Amino acid sequence: MILKNATVLNSCFEPVRADLATSGERIAEIAPNLQGRMNTGGEAVDLSGCTLVPGFVDIHIHASIGVDTCDASREGLKRVAAYLATKGVTSFCPTTMTVSSEEIRAALDNVRDCMEHPGPGARIAGVNMEGPYLSIHRKGAQKGEYIRTPDWRAFRDYYEGCGGIIKLLDVAPECEGAEELIRNASRLCTVSIAHTEADFAQAKQSFAWGVTHATHLYNAMSGFNHRAPGVVGAVFDTPAVSAELICDGFHIDPAVLRITFRVLGEDRTVIISDAMRAAGMKDGDYDLGGQNVQVRGGLARLAGGTIAGSTTNMHQEVKNLLSYGVPFRQVIKSATINPARQIHEDHQTGSLEPGKYADIVALDENMDIRLVVCRGEIAFRA
């Protein structure tokens, strides 16, 4: 297949006029005027007026269209993968909640099965394990009865039991046992500070132990104050740590998003949806990790008012950030190569380069999606 007459974001995320050729699941070549050298039988898609960007990578998403990762449903995850492709997502990490050990194991087994028997749409890159090693005092929408003390041996059992598909682990580093867990788990996957009462010093200490990521920055953690910089200040102050940001306009004020993207720079910001099962659905009452969630006007809350995940998607967040004044190059990197790097998938996806997966989104001049290619196959066409 050749995608022709478009502007392509190259490996440096700079726009160039070029065609893009695919071969099987991979990008074969990016260069001007490729159509004359196209193999017989290949499809040529005219994308005049469009910009080709890498497929979006959502590394923190619980659910969509009525399905939750912890449902442990193979057919459900396949539906999510197909839905996400319509929103430009070509890779994602199904994310568990703080539920029972049996439910976590079932969810991990199901994700592994779906990875071994993939369907059409977005590719599952691995699991984000949010909980159970969190602070009861900053649990947010996580169910308190299942929160556990950080336990390296228990995590190792989860990791080995699912064949090593866990790509992200969330930990509250101030809790007993956190140091041992972080030091050991960080050799296996990315460890993220999350749902935590840690102060600035404790957060900095956890970075020394091996934490390199922050889960939904600002939410469920100590904020930034001029006399108490908190976890947010520790992240700002540590160049080796990247930060997730929910960019739906509810979780973080647009002005704060604009400031945060400027402070962190274009290589440390990671857009996530943190979507729950109401994403892609109408307002109503839904379940998240065994708790009732009310969705009104697209905003998901527990009965007590706590925000409970989101109903957004990566494409909408990209458009939001552009409307808030965040530079295009940083927005696209934050939806593609930056999250791919955090789960160690940047050698496969996250940028448009020969040899990488042909995971591609064509955006028109209004930033609407015209075409989505997942691993060399057209998954969505507007």
On whether the CB atoms of residues 14 and 51 are closer than 8 A, the answer is no
307 marked ligand binding residue: yes
Going by C-alpha positions, the residue among 139, 66, 61, 104 that lies closest to residue 302 is 139
Q: What's the CA gap between 238 and 220, in Å, rounded?
A: 19
- State yes or no: 177 annotated in a binding site: no
Which of the following is catalytic: 68, 248, 274, 359? 274
Rounded-to-integer distance, Cα 272 and Cα 39, Å = 38
* 38 touches 44 (CB < 8 A): yes
Q: Amino acid identity of 265?
A: G
Is 227 annotated in a binding site? The answer is: yes
255 is in an annotated binding site: no
Contact 63, 273 (CB under 8 A): no
Ligand-binding annotation for 315, yes or no, is: no
| 62 belongs to an annotated ligand binding site | no
Distance CA 321, CA 330 (A): 10
141 is in an annotated binding site: yes
**What is the residue type of 183?**
R
Q: Does 243 count as an annotated binding residue?
A: no
**213 labelled as ligand-binding?**
no
Annotated catalytic residue 19:
no
195 annotated among ligand-binding-site residues: yes
Q: Which residues pair with 53 in a beta bridge?
A: 361
Q: How many CA atoms lie within 13 A of 182 on its CB side?
A: 25
Tell me: is residue 219 an annotated ligand-binding position.
Answer: yes
Annotated binding site: 130, 141, 195, 216, 219-220, 227, 251, 307-309
Annotated binding site for substrate: 141, 219-220, 227, 251, 307-309
Catalytic residues, by residue number, are 274
Annotated binding site for Zn(2+): 130, 195, 216
